[in-house]
Structure 1
Amino acid sequence: MRISGAGDWEGGGNFDQLVLSHLGLIRHIGLSTLRRPGELDDFTQQVVLVAFAHRNELDPRGVKGWLATVARNTAIQWSRKRTPDLLAQLPDIPLPTPLPDESLEAEERWSQVIEGLASLDDTDERALRAHYLEDRGYEQMQREFGVSYSAMRKRVSRARKLLQERLTALAGLIGLIGTRRQPRGFGDVPGGDNRMTATISLTASMLIVGWVGVGAHELEQSAWRAATFAPQGDTLLPIELVAEEFRPKVKPVADGVGEAEAQPFPAAPSMGTWTRLDGAPDERAAAAATAIDDRLYVFAGIDTVGPRDATLVYDTRSHSWDVSAAIPTARSYFSAGVIDGKTYVAGGLGTPGQWTALSSLEVHDPVTDSWDTLADMPTARGKTAAAVAGGKLYVLGGWASGPNLRTNEAYDPATGQWEARADMPEPNAWHSAVAIRGEIYVLGGQGLDHNADDLRSLFIYIPATNTWREGAPMPETRTRFMACVVGGRIYTIGGWIGDPNAEVTAVVHVYDPVSDSWDIGPDMPTAGHDLFGTALDGRIYVIGGWDQRAGVFEVLDTGFRAISPSGKDPSTWGGLKRL
C-alpha cells in the first residue's frame, strides 16, 4: 500500500511493497481470530496503519514475522473492543497503480481460470461460476439446480477438485479456488460505513491472487521474537521494553533445581508439521480411533460398499497395520472413549439408507482381543460426541430421527449403569468433544437440524457440579470434523467449515483453554470430512474420510512430548515437575 511518506521509509526498502506482498498473511490471521468476519477489511486496514506508524522499527529481513505479530496483537486489542485511535489520526490510504508485470500476471492467471472452467462439463462450470464468480449461496443454487442442499455442496466441491487438477501448474490459484472460501473477498466493496476505499480493495485483490492460499498461514516462529508490539493491559509497548519483565524468574529450591514462576505471556508454541504415511488398509469414514500404549485402534465406520466391522490396529513403532477382533455391531457416526485401557463404543447409526439410531454399548479389551456387550444407552442416537472424565464415558448430543438432541448421558464402568446428566445448552450433532483436566469441551456441530445454521460455539461441561459454561467460540463454524488434545490444547481438524457457504476444509484451529483463545495451525495436506483419528505422544494421527481423503493416513507432529517420571531420580524430578 502506498502511504504518504512511505517511499522514503527510514528503515530502508520500499514499505508499501513489503506490506502489500503480505496482505494475504494479515487477512488470514484476521479471519482466524475475528469473531465477526465482516470486520476483516477494517481489521486489515488497522494492521497496516499500525505497521506504518511504527515502520522505523522494522527490519526488512524479518517483515513477515513482524507483520504477523502486529496482526496478532491488533486482533487481541480488537477483541477487547478498543476503539482504534490511528484510524482517526491517519488519512485514507491510496494504492499505487499495479506494476505492468503484476497486472499481466494477474490477467494470465484469470485467463487460465476461464480456460479451466470452459474445459469442465456444463453443470460443473455453471456450479463454479454461480458459487465463486457470482457469489451465490448453496440455498439459492439448490433451487436453480433442482437438488438438495447437501448435494449442491458436494457438486461444487467435486467441480472445484476437477478444476484444481487442471490448474496444478498454477500454484497461486489454489489460494483463490481452494478448499477454504473467504466470507467476503478483499476486492468486494463492503456495505455500510467502511474507510477502505474501492481502489484499495480492487487493486489489492489483483495483487494477492495466489498469495492468500500459498504460504500465507505459514507463520515463522521468529514472529514471536520480532521487534514489534506486545499487549500489556490497555497499552502497547515495544517487545524489547517488556521482554525483561516477561522473562521467567528462577529461584533455587532445596534440591538445586530452578523453579520458574508463572509467565504472563508464554512463548509461542510450535504448531508442528504434517507427514503423509502409507495408506490405511481400507477407505472407511465416520469411524473412531483410540490410542492405547503405542497402538492406534480403528473401529467400525463405513465406506462406499457399506458398514465396516473389522478392527484395525496400527503399531506406531513398527509403522505396520494388523487386524483385531471385529466389533459385534457394525456402525458409523458413533463415539468411543478409553477407560482403564479398554475402548468403549457407544451408539451410532446402523445400516446405510435406513440409518437406524443405535443404543448399544460394547467394550474392547486389547489384552484379550475380545468384546463384551454392556448396558444400552438410555437414548438411542448417532452423530454424537463423547469424552471420558473422572472414569466415566459421557455421550453428548446426536440425532435419532427428528431434531438434533441436547442429551447428556454418562456411563460408569464401576457400576455398569447409565446416568442422565445436565443437557447441553443447545441441540447438536456432528460435533466433537474432548476432556481436559476433568472438564469436557464440546465444539461446533450442527444446530437443531440440517436446515439450521452450523455452529461455532464452545461449551464446557463440569461433571463435578453438573453445570455448563461457555468458552470463546471457534473462529468459524465447523461440522463433521475431529478434535483431540495435545499439550493441554485442543486441535480441531478438517470437516465442513463456514456457514452458510460451507466448504470441505483442511484448516486446523488450536484452542488454548488457559487464555480462552484460538490460534491457527498448519493446514492438513488433504482436506476432508467425516475423518477420524487420535493423538499419541504429541502426534495427531488423522485417518480416512470421504472423497479425496478415502484411505489417506496423515500425521501432525506438534513437537510436544510428555515427560514421564519413570526412571528419573526422585529428588531431581521433584524440581523438574514444578518448572
Structure 2
Amino acid sequence: MHLLQEGDLIEVLEANASQEVNFLFIQKWMRSAEGRTKRFDDLMQHNGHWNTLPPMPTARRSHSSIYHNHYLYVVGGCDDCGWDCRPLNSVDALDMRNLQWNHLPPLPREVDFASLAIVSDNLFVLGGCSGLNWAADVHEFDSTQQTWRQRSPMPEICEWGVAVSFDDHVYVVGGQDRRCMRFNPRNNTWTSLQRPQFIHSYGPSLVLNGNIVVFGGLNDDSIEEYSPLTDYHSAKITVAMKQKQTG
C-alpha cells in the first residue's frame, strides 16, 4: 500500500481551481484498492468525455447527494433559483446498474443543504436548512423497510457542515461554528467532541487511514485531521488554492 505523500497532495491541489475536483481525486485514490497508485498524476488519465445520465425526475438545487451500493441518492434541495425558492422533501435514487430513477418515500420535512451519511446500508439525513432556519433534526431511512424514522437530534446545529460515517458511527464536522459531533445509531445518542481549529464552511471531508480529514472551505485553505481514537484535531498543511479567473 502506498501512503498519501504530502508532496503529491500539494502538487495536485495547486493545479486545480475547483475544491470539488480535488476532493474527487482524493476519493478516487482511496478506492483504488488493488495496485494503488503511487502518485495522484496517475489518476488524472482519462478520455476527457462526459457520459450523460438520465435527468433527475425533479429539478432542484442546494440538494445533497451520496453514493452507496449501486445507488446515487439525491435528497431535498430547492425547486427554484430565486429568492422565493421552496425547500423540497423529495428523495430520488438512481440505480447505476440500469440507469433507472426510483422515487423513495419523502422526507418527514423539507430541507436543503442537509448532511448525508450511510451506516449499515441505512441513509441518515442530518441537519440542513428549511426556509431561513437551520435545524438539528436527524432522520434515518431504513433501506429494508423503505421507511423513515426520526432519531435523536444533534446537540447543536451545524451550518454548512458535513457528515461522514466511520466505525458504525456518524460524525458531523466543520461548518461555520467549528462543530464536531458523533452519533451512535445503535443507542441513539450523541457525543460532543473537540472542535476543529479552523472554520470549514462547505469544506468536504473523508475518512483516511482511520482518521477524519476536513478540507478547506469558504475562504479557508487549511486541512485538518481528526483522530476518533484520541479526540484530537491536528492541522496538516495549508494549500494556496488558485483563484478561478472571471470576466
Name the TM-score class by shorter chain.
0.7 to 0.9
Q: CA deviation at 1:278?
A: 8.8
Q: CA separation of 1:362/1:284 partners in 2, compared to 1, >3 Å: closer, same or farther? A: farther
Which of 342, 350, 355 is residue 71 of structure 2 equivalent to? 342
The Cα of 1:318 is off from its aligned counterpart by 4.8
**2:244 aligns to what SS in structure 1?**
helix
Partner of 1:511: 226
For 2:110, the equivalent position in structure 1 comes to: 380
Offset, 1:276: 5.4
2:214 to 492, 496, 519: 492
How far apart are the structure 2 equivalents of 1:482 and 1:419? 26
Q: Distance in 1 between matches of 2:63 and 2:239?
A: 23
Q: Structure 1 residue aligned with 2:197, among 470, 475, 491? A: 475
The Cα shift of 1:325 comes to 2.1
Does residue 273 of the first structure (1) align with residue 9 of the second (2)? Answer: yes
Q: Which residue identity is paired with 1:522? A: I
Cα deviation 1:267-292 (Å, max 9, x = unaligned): x9854523159979xx998xx9787x
Q: Distance in 2 between matches of 1:331 and 1:549?
A: 27
* 1:176-230 CA-partner distances (Å, limit 9, x unpaired): xxxxxxxxxxxxxxxxxxxxxxxxxxxxxxxxxxxxxxxxxxxxxxxxxxxxxxx
Q: Which of 422, 426, 440 is matched with 2:170 structurally?
A: 440
* Distance in 2 of aligned mates of 1:337 and 1:356: 22
Instruction: State the distance in 1 between where 2:63 and 2:126 align.
Output: 11
* 1:397 is aligned to 2:123: no
The one-letter code matched in structure 2 to 1:350 is D
Q: Which stretches of structure 1, 4 residues or longer, exceed 4 Å deviation after superposition?
A: 268-272, 276-280, 288-291
CA contact (8 A) 2:66 2:74 kept: yes
Alpha-carbon separation, structure 1, partners of 2:138 and 2:152? 6
Equivalent positions of 1:48-59 (< 5 A) are: none
Conserved? CA contact 1:384–1:396, under 8 Å: yes
Give yes or no for contact 2:14–2:241 (8 Å, CA) kept in 1: no
The alignment's C-alpha RMSD in Å is: 3.1
Whether contact under 8 Å (1:489, 1:511) holds in the other structure is yes
**Match of 2:238?**
523
CA distance in 2, matches of 1:341, 1:419: 23
Structure-2 separation of matches of 1:284 and 1:494: 8
- 1:28-80 deviation per Cα after TM superposition (whole angstroms, max 9, x unaligned): xxxxxxxxxxxxxxxxxxxxxxxxxxxxxxxxxxxxxxxxxxxxxxxxxxxxx
Distance 1:421 1:469, change over 3 A: same
Distance change >3 Å, CA 326–CA 526, structure 1 → 2? farther
Which amino acid is the alignment partner of residue 508 of structure 1? I
- 1:549 and 1:457 map into 2 onto residues whose CA distance is 32
The one-letter amino acid paired with 2:9 is T
1:325 equivalent to 2:61? Answer: no
Q: How far did 1:508 drift?
A: 1.1
Partner residue, 1:418: 148
Partners of 1:493 and 1:508 in 2: CA distance: 5
Match status 1:458 vs 2:188: no
In structure 2, do the counterparts of structure 1 residues 485 and 404 end up closer, same or farther at CA, with 3 Å as the change threshold? same
Change (3 A) 1:383 1:459: same
Partners of 1:276 and 1:519 in 2: CA distance: 19
Q: Which amino acid aligns with 2:131?
A: S
Please tell me the residue identity of whatever aligns with 2:182. I
1: CA distance, partners of 2:150 / 2:245: 36
Query: Structure 2 matches for 1:21-420, cutoff 5 A?
Result: 270-271=5-6, 273-274=9-10, 275=12, 318-320=45-47, 321-323=49-51, 324-353=53-82, 354-420=84-150
Q: Per the alignment, do residues 372 and 423 of structure 1 end up closer, same or farther by CA in structure 2, a change over 3 Å counting?
A: same
Counterparts of 1:345 and 1:270, CA distance in 2: 33
Residue 375 (structure 1) shift = 0.8
Residue aligning to 2:38: none
Does structure 2 conserve the Cα–Cα contact (< 8 Å) formed by 1:273 and 1:522?
A: no
- SS of 1:522's partner is strand
| Match for residue 548 of structure 1 among 228, 233, 244 | 244
Aligned partners of 1:526 and 1:549 also within 8 Å: no
Determine the C-alpha separation between the residues in 1 that align with 2:56 and 2:177: 32
Greater helix content:
1
Structure 1 residue 332: deviation in Å?
Answer: 2.7
Mark the CA change 1:276 to 1:423 in structure 2 (over 3 Å): closer, same or farther. Answer: closer
Question: What SS is found at the alignment partner of 1:350?
Answer: coil
| Residue 549 of structure 1: how far off its partner (Å) | 8.7
- Compare CA radii of gyration and give the structure with the larger one: 1
The 1:523/1:465 distance shift into structure 2, 3 A limit, reads: same
Alpha-carbon distance, 1:476 to partner: 2.1
Aligned length: 223
TM-score of the pair, normalised by structure 2: 0.79
Question: In the alignment, what sits opposite 1:449?
Answer: none
- Deviation, structure 1 residue 366: 1.4
Distance 2:138 2:72 in 1: 19
3-state DSSP of counterpart to 1:379 = coil
Change (3 A) 1:549 1:408: farther
**Unaligned ranges ≥5, structure 2:** 33-42
